Amino acid sequence: MQCLFVQIRCRPGTTYQVAEEITGREIHSELYSTSGDYDLIAKIYVEKEDDVGRFVNENIANIDNIERTLTTLTFKAF
């Protein structure tokens, strides 16, 4: 499995709605609200052979009220 972190920027006032939609899709390991440029961060595990860009586009970026995402790939846990 490959671990990725997806930061999510929501339209103002919609963070809880977006979080509920993500939670309902059951695609994440952990989901947090955050301060700063993004409103949420999701920790997600995908199969090593999965296309990460396609996964994010089909499972997260298509949720209503998401303005932008930023995906960070991980390589090694210390």
Residue 5 neighbours by CB under 8 Å, 6+ apart: 41, 42, 43, 44, 71, 72, 74
2-73 is classed CATH 3.30.70.920:
yes
Q: Residue 2: what pLDDT?
A: 95
Q: How many helices and strands, by DSSP H and E, does the chain display?
A: 2, 4
18-50 pLDDT per residue, tens: 999 999 999 999 999 999 999 999 999 999 999
46-71 pLDDT per residue, tens: 999 999 999 999 999 999 999 999 99
Q: What is the pTM of this model?
A: 0.94
Q: Which residue has the tokens 């955050």?
A: 34
Residue ranges per structural domain of the chain? 2-73
